[in-house]
């Protein structure tokens, strides 16, 4: 089996800017911004 990363979870201050960087700058495939709500609250708690 070939190793791969299928899900990447990041906590960032500016989500739209981070998506542009990984999608446009590093040319990683993305489904865009998925989720929010309780996960966003969790991310805010670790900064």
Residue by residue, pLDDT tens for the chain (47 residues) are 899 887 777 777 787 888 889 889 999 887 767 666 566 666 766 55
Model-level pTM?
A: 0.53
Look at residue 24 and tell me if it is in a domain: yes
Look at residue 28 and tell me if it is in a domain: yes
Helix, coil or strand: residue 28: coil
Which pLDDT score, from 0 to 100, does residue 40 have? 65
Which pLDDT score, from 0 to 100, does residue 41 have? 64
Give the helix, strand, coil percentages of the chain, each rounded to 5: 45, 0, 55
Look at residue 10 and tell me if it is in a domain: no
Instruction: Sort 43 into a burial class: Cβ within 10 Å, 0-12 / 13-18 / 19+.
Output: middle
Distance CA 43, CA 47 (A): 7
Q: How many domains does the chain have?
A: 1
Look at residue 33 and tell me if it is in a domain: yes
The range of the structural domain enclosing residue 23 comes to 17-46
Look at residue 8 and tell me if it is in a domain: no
Write the CB contacts of 19 (distance below 8 Å, at least 6 apart in sequence): 30, 32, 33
């Amino acid at each position: 089996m070939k190793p791969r990363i299928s899900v990447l979870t990041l906590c960032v201050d500016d989500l739209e800017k981070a998506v542009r960087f990984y999608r446009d700058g590093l040319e990683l495939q993305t489904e865009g911004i998925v989720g929010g709500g309780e996960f966003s609250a969790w991310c805010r708690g670790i900064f």
